[in-house]
C-alpha cells in the first residue's frame, strides 16, 4: 500500500511539446532517448526512480499536422537492470532477460516496420535486436485526420513493466477542419494522461512479483493477471489540481493505466461535452454525465466552468455503490475555478463536428468470429487468449489490403477486455448479450437480448473498444493502407503480456 498522500497539493504539469532535432525534406526529425531518472510525483513523496522518454514522465508530447511526416529515432539508453520485478516464467528464461524496448504509436496508420512490432525490440545501445525486422528511425506519415494518439513501449512479454516504469507519452495530430471549429485552444486545451500506481514508503514504484498478486481487490484474484494501483496520477503528478478560468476548456483525456478503467464524472454534476474519441472528432457533440474510459482509450471533452467562479470542481472516478469508503481512487484531480472573470471566451461547443462515412456500405470480405477466452499455462497460472491461440501459434487473421471485414469479439470470460487493433481505426457495429453459463455447458451461443447499437460516444472512429463479458461486440474495419505484420490484443497490459495478443497480416495476395 502506498503511503497516505494528501490530495490536490501539486499543480497539474503539462507535458512539454517536443521540438524537432531538425527539419528535413522528409518532415520533422526527432531523437528521443529512453533513460532512467528520478522525478518528484507528489509534494510528500521522495523522488521516484522512473524510466522515461527524454527524462520526462510522461514523455514529451509530439505534435504534427495531418500530412506532415514525422521521423523519430527512439534511442534506448536504459540501464541493463530492470526497475521492477520480472516474472521469469513468462519469458521461459533462467536469468533475467535484457532490458528490451520497442515503441508503438497507438492509433496511427503506420507501415509495419515502424509500428513497433513486439518482437522488433532492441536493447540498450541497439546491441541486440529481436527476431522481427524494424528500421532504426521510425516514420510516421500522419496521413490520418486530427486525433490524440499516444506512444508507448510494446516489447514482447514486458510491456506492462516498461509502461508502468513510465514509458508513455502523447502524440497529437491536428488538421484544418478541426481548427475551423473554434474549439477551446492554446492554454485552454489541456492533455490529461491518467494512470494508477502504487508506491513504497521510500517513493519507489511498487509492482508485485507476479501481477495477479496485485489483484487482491478484484472479485476473484486467482483468476486473472491484473494490476490495480491505489493512487491516481494525472500527467505524472499524484492527485493534482489545476487552476482554471471560468470559461470553456478542452481536455484530451487518455487512460494510460495498465489495467484500471475509469468512470469519469464531475462533482458539480455538470455534464461533459464529448467531441472526440480515439480516432478524432465525433460527428456530433454528445452531452454526457459519466464517461467510461478503458485502458488506451481517449476521450476529447469540453467542460464549461463559467458557472463555477471561485469554486472547486473535482474530476471523479465513480467506483460504484459497493466501493470501499477508504478507496482513494474515487477521485482523479481537482479544478480550482478563479474568481477573476475570464477574457471573453469566444470558443464554441459545435453541434456538428465532422463527417464520418459509415463502413457498413462497403463490401464485407470476411466476418471473423474471435473468442476471448481463458486457459492455463504450463505452470498452471491463468492465461487469457484470443480465439484459444497463443502468440506463437500461426497467424490466422490475414485480411487482404483494402478490404473491409467484420470482427465479432465473443467474450467468454468473466470481465471486460479493451480490444485494440493496430494500423486501422474501426467503427463499432453493435453488441449483443448471450448466455455464458449455457455456452460453458454446451458451447452454444444463445442470445439473451437484442442487438444494441453503440452508445452515442462510440459512434466515431475507434482503435480500442470495451468488449464486455458475455457479449458479442462487433467492429468493422477497412484494412489499409499498408500490408505487413501487425498485432491486435487486449490493452490491459497484464493480459497482453500473458498471451492475450495475436499477430495479423495484411496481405496483397489471395
Q: Which residues bind ligand C2O (CB under 6 A)?
A: 104, 106, 152, 154, 296, 420, 422, 487, 489, 491
Q: Which of 171, 457, 454, 168 is nearest to 302 (CA)?
A: 457
Question: Residues with Cβ < 8 Å from 280, sequence gap 6 or more?
Answer: 144, 145, 146, 147, 173, 178, 354, 460, 461
How many CB atoms are located within 10 Å of the residue 79 CB? 11
φ, ψ dihedrals at 199, nearest 5°:
-115, 150
Partner that binds at residue 417, options Cu ion, ligand C2O, none, CB closer than 5 to 8 Å by kind: Cu ion
Question: How far apart are CB 399 and ligand C2O at their closest, in Å?
Answer: 17
Partner that binds at residue 248, options ligand C2O, Cu ion, none, CB closer than 5 to 8 Å by kind: none
Question: How far apart are CB 437 and Cu ion at their closest, in Å?
Answer: 21
Partner that binds at residue 495, options ligand C2O, Cu ion, none, CB closer than 5 to 8 Å by kind: Cu ion
Element (H, E) at 159: helix 159-164
What is the rounded distance in angstroms from the CA atom of residue 154 to the CA atom of residue 106? 10
Question: How far apart are CB 363 and ligand C2O at their closest, in Å?
Answer: 28
Burial, 352: exposed, middle or buried (Cβ in 10 Å; 0-12, 13-18, 19+)? exposed
Q: Which of 254, 206, 314 is nearest to 58 (CA)?
A: 254
Question: Residues with Cβ < 8 Å from 437, sequence gap 6 or more?
Answer: none
Q: Of 300 and 494, which CB lies nearer to Cu ion in the complex structure?
A: 494
Q: Which of residues 411-470 bind Cu ion (CB under 5 A)?
A: 417, 422
Among 250, 462, 495, 502, binds Cu ion (CB under 5 A): 495
Question: How far apart are CB 388 and ligand C2O at their closest, in Å?
Answer: 20
Quick note: the x/- pattern for Cu ion over 465-494, rule CB under 5 A, is: -------------------------x-x--
Size of the site for Cu ion (CB under 5 A): 6
Q: Of 260 and 422, which CB lies nearer to ligand C2O in the complex structure?
A: 422
Partner that binds at residue 247, options Cu ion, ligand C2O, none, CB closer than 5 to 8 Å by kind: none
Q: Which of 498, 499, 494, 500 is nearest to 258 (CA)?
A: 494
Nearest residue to Cu ion, scored by beta-carbon proximity: 490
Q: Which stretch binds Cu ion (CB under 5 A): 78-86, 100-108, 169-177, 308-316?
A: 100-108
Question: How far apart are CB 422 and ligand C2O at their closest, in Å?
Answer: 6
Q: Which of 309, 301, 70 is nearest to 191 (CA)?
A: 301
> Which positions touch Cu ion (CB under 5 A)?
106, 417, 422, 490, 492, 495
Amino acid at each position: 500500500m502506498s503511503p497516505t498522500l494528501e490530495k490536490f497539493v501539486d499543480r497539474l504539469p503539462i507535458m512539454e511539446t517536443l521540438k524537432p532535432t531538425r527539419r528535413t525534406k522528409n518532415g520533422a526529425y526527432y531523437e528521443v532517448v529512453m533513460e532512467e531518472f528520478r522525478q518528484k510525483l507528489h509534494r510528500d513523496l521522495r523522488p521516484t526512480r522512473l524510466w522515461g522518454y527524454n527524462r520526462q514522465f510522461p514523455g514529451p508530447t509530439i505534435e504534427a499536422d495531418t500530412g506532415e511526416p514525422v521521423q523519430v529515432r527512439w534511442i534506448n539508453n536504459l540501464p541493463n537492470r530492470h526497475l521492477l520485478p520480472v516474472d521469469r516464467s513468462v519469458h521461459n528464461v533462467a536469468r533475467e532477460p535484457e532490458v528490451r524496448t520497442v515503441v508503438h504509436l497507438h492509433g496511427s496508420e503506420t507501415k509495419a516496420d515502424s509500428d513497433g512490432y513486439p518482437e522488433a525490440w532492441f536493447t540498450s545501445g541497439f546491441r541486440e535486436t529481436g527476431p522481427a525486422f524494424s528500421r532504426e528511425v521510425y516514420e510516421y506519415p500522419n496521413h490520418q485526420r486530427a486525433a490524440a494518439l499516444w506512444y508507448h513501449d510494446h516489447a514482447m512479454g514486458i510491456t506492462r513493466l516498461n509502461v508502468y516504469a513510465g514509458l508513455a507519452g502523447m502524440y497529437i495530430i491536428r488538421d484544418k477542419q478541426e481548427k475551423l471549429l473554434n474549439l477551446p485552444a492554446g492554454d485552454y486545451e489541456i492533455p490529461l494522461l491518467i494512470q494508477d500506481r502504487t508506491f513504497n514508503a521510500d517513493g519507489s514504484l511498487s509492482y508485485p512479483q507476479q501481477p495477479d498478486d496485485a489483484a487482491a481487490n478484484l472479485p476473484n484474484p486467482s483468476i486473472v493477471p491484473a494490476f490495480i494501483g491505489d493512487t491516481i496520477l494525472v500527467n505524472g503528478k499524484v492527485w493534482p489540481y489545476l487552476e482554471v478560468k471560468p470559461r470553456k476548456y478542452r481536455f484530451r483525456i487518455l487512460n494510460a493505466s495498465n489495467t484500471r478503467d475509469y468512470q469519469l464524472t464531475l462533482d458539480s454534476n455538470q455534464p461533459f461535452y464529448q467531441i472526440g474519441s480515439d480516432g478524432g472528432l465525433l460527428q456530433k457533440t454528445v452531452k454526457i454525465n459519466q464517461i467510461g474510459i478503458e485502458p488506451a482509450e481517449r476521450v476529447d471533452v469540453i467542460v464549461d466552468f463559467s458557472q463555477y467562479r471561485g469554486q472547486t470542481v473535482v474530476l471523479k472516478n465513480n467506483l460504484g455503490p459497493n466501493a470501499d469508503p477508504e478507496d482513494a481512487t474515487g477521485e482523479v484531480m481537482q479544478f480550482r475555478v478563479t474568481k477573476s472573470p475570464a477574457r471573453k471566451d469566444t470558443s464554441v461547443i459545435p453541434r456538428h463536428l465532422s463527417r464520418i462515412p459509415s463502413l457498413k456500405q462497403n463490401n464485407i470480405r470476411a466476418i471473423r468470429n474471435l473468442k476471448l477466452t481463458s486457459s492455463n499455462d504450463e505452470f498452471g497460472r491463468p492465461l487469457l487468449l484470443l480465439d484459444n491461440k497463443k502468440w506463437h501459434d500461426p497467424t490466422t487473421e490475414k485480411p487482404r489490403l483494402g478490404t473491409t471485414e467484420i470482427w465479432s469479439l465473443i467474450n467468454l470470460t468473466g470481465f471486460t477486455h479493451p480490444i485494440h487493433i493496430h494500423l486501422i481505426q474501426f467503427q463499432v457495429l453493435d453488441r449483443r448479450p448471450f448466455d455464458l453459463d449455457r455456452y460453458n455447458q454446451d458451447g452454444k451461443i444463445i442470445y439473451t437480448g437484442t442487438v444494441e447499437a453503440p452508445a452515442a460516444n462510440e459512434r466515431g472512429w475507434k482503435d480500442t473498444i470495451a468488449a464486455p463479458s458475455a457479449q458479442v461486440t462487433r467492429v468493422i474495419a477497412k484494412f489499409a493502407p499498408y500490408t505487413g505484420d501487425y498485432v491486435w490484443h487486449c490493452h490491459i497490459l497484464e493480459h497482453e503480456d500473458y498471451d492475450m495478443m495475436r499477430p495479423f497480416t495484411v496481405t496483397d495476395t489471395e
